[in-house]
Structure 1
């Protein structure tokens, strides 16, 4: 019931979504119930994700991993936890502002075409005490700390959970940014028989141990060029020419962990611009993978897969901007986590609807909409004269829904995005409520 109430009023507060005190109180009791947890809330969604994955037959899927923060303004941070301490200047002496909130590490499955199939793992946590990475390095070498005692252990947990849930490790490619450059993660992926494609930030020992990865890649020849379209901060589009280098390299574990982990054979792929552009940052992608790369075509495919990582950023944007997860007034971390877990399901649905419109041309409208919703969309947004019944596709009705949210549907406009979809869905819900009330009062 709570899921339905929040989905009908995207971005609304709990009292506005529930509409009356009894339903609002029931929602608060549900979120604060000790028998309720994010694992139980998301268990059904995870199962459905596995079924959607099985329906994709034998194609490769990408599991995108990333961490995001939910920041809340509270006078007391004890009930929620600490995210960071930011330095602020007060006169001549620096002071530190404590930011409270919740951190979330999520894993999202998408197809090679970008269609999100669902979430496979989510980890929430807060910090009772915050220790900056630089302060930690002054006291102890971070590479000597067991991975189980670090926050980065969540990367390993999500990889294990995602791979076990989907049950076909050979079809999975795990994608992560620089934060995922963890040697233990490479080893676990190798043990589970799954694959990874990650961006590196550590210059590890390679070869016979007398050189690093960067030394080995400097000697690697350019294997090809790849042209892409990029935008600068002003939104202007230009062409970038990337030089592709790739090489199979034997990787060594950190010195303090050589007795615990074996050497690994991996492929290192570098895609860089030879000349820095004037109006934007230089593209410099340094990727590591256990996938084979034998040609320029293979290298371009891996770059395209890594570019899909931005999809999880879009998912987080829907969660924060669409459903306004950071504007919730709940006071305890446990309640916030339960609510965010519910909003994750709704955010995925909005994202799935948007990408269904972009990735498939054969889906029927009833895949997404009910019969009543289809009827209302036909009444609210009229078809062009002469339209045949065969043209009643999902794309047509998604465009009508987006028009309710402010989409202009001009000839050269790109497909509707998430923002107009969630606006249109919220408006359609209100219209449907009025239509049903009118039917009950007046009759068909």
Structure 2
């Protein structure tokens, strides 16, 4: 379980159960619904630490689940929910997809396809920097982008010869987006990365202009 607020990171030991179940339709409906056969997967923390609410999930899946390995796989799928929700938050809050008025469905589909890729890139950059910050930043930034970023941070016109690490580049982008980088702050999240990418875009364009005129 990841740390959240005052809650410390911890490892939870869970009891796993799974079984096929049949869901009966409500009898009060005017239109009769069919019986639904699904697979229930239940996990619960039997011995949580004192004062901690036990972790418990009850999943209903249409995917056949007949073994512990299959049940664990379904749980791993569900565990990706938080990452998917973060992607949706970037798409809605940062890209403001819901606030845009496109006029036609065709425009909406085209814009959503574009913003979906942008939101994915922001989230991918955020998570990759946490997983392997020693990677070269060129895995997510073009040459001119990280050079412009370096020159902005160091207030110089001469970019370095050595490629920045991903961790360093993402930290600088996050600071541009309002990340305070205090000692006890958690790693930068997708929101400040998004804001920093907007600033970095303007910096890169100015860097292109000044270098083309020199």
Q: Give the structure-1-normalised TM-score.
A: 0.37
Q: What residue number does 2:141 align with?
A: 369
Residue 67 of structure 2 aligns to a residue in which SS?
A: coil
Name the SS of the counterpart of 1:325 in structure 2. coil
SS of the aligned residue for 1:246 comes to strand
Aligned to 1:417: 189
Taking a change above 3 Å as real, the CA distance of residues 245 and 373 of structure 1, as seen in their structure-2 partners, is closer
Inter-partner Cα distance in structure 2 for 1:304 and 1:390: 39
Name the structure 1 match of 2:95: 323
* Structure 1: distance between partners of 2:209 and 2:162: 32
Q: Deviations over 1:198-232 (max 9, x none)?
A: xxxxxxxxxxxxxxxxxxxxxxxxxxxxxx4675x
**2:181 equivalent to 1:405:** no
CA distance in 1, matches of 2:185, 2:148: 24
Structure 1 residues not aligned, in runs of 5+: 1-227, 383-388
The change in CA–CA distance for 1:367 and 1:243 in structure 2 (over 3 A counts) is: closer
Q: Which has the higher contact order (CA 8 A, sep 6+)?
A: 1
The structural deviation recorded for 1:316 is 0.7
Output the TM-score relative to the length of structure 2: 0.71
Write out aligned runs for 1:304-315 (5 A). 305-315=77-87
1:436 aligns with 2:211: no
Structure 2 stretches lacking a partner, 5+ long: 26-32, 155-160
Instruction: Please give the per-residue CA displacement for 1:321-344, whole angstroms capped at 9, x wherever unaligned.
Output: 111112212333443233222211
Residue 268 in 1 paired to residue 41 in 2? yes
Asked if structure 2 preserves the Cα contact closer than 8 Å seen for 1:323 and 1:347, the reply is: yes
Contact 2:178 2:196 in 1 (8 A): yes
The 1:338/1:273 distance shift into structure 2, 3 A limit, reads farther
- Cα deviation for residue 405 of structure 1 reads 1.3
Which stretch shifts more, 397-406 or 326-335? 326-335
2:68 equivalent among 266, 275, 293: 293
1:415: Cα distance to partner? 2.2
Separation of aligned partners in 2, 1:251 and 1:302: 16
> What secondary structure, in the 3-state scheme, does the structure 1 residue paired with 2:188 have?
coil
How do residues 152-231 of structure 1 correspond to structure 2 at under 5 angstroms?
A: 228=1, 231=4
Higher strand proportion, which one? 1
Offset of residue 373 of structure 1: 1.6
Q: How many residues align?
A: 195
In 2, Cα distance between equivalents of 1:411 and 1:230:
16
Contact 1:240 1:273 in 2 (8 A): no
RMSD between aligned alpha carbons?
3.7
Separation in structure 2 between the aligned mates of residue 284 and residue 419 of structure 1, nearest angstrom? 29
* 1:392 Cα deviation after fit: 3.4
The CA deviation at 1:267 is 6.9
- CA shift, 1:304, in A, is 5.1
Report the Cα offset of residue 375 of structure 1: 1.6
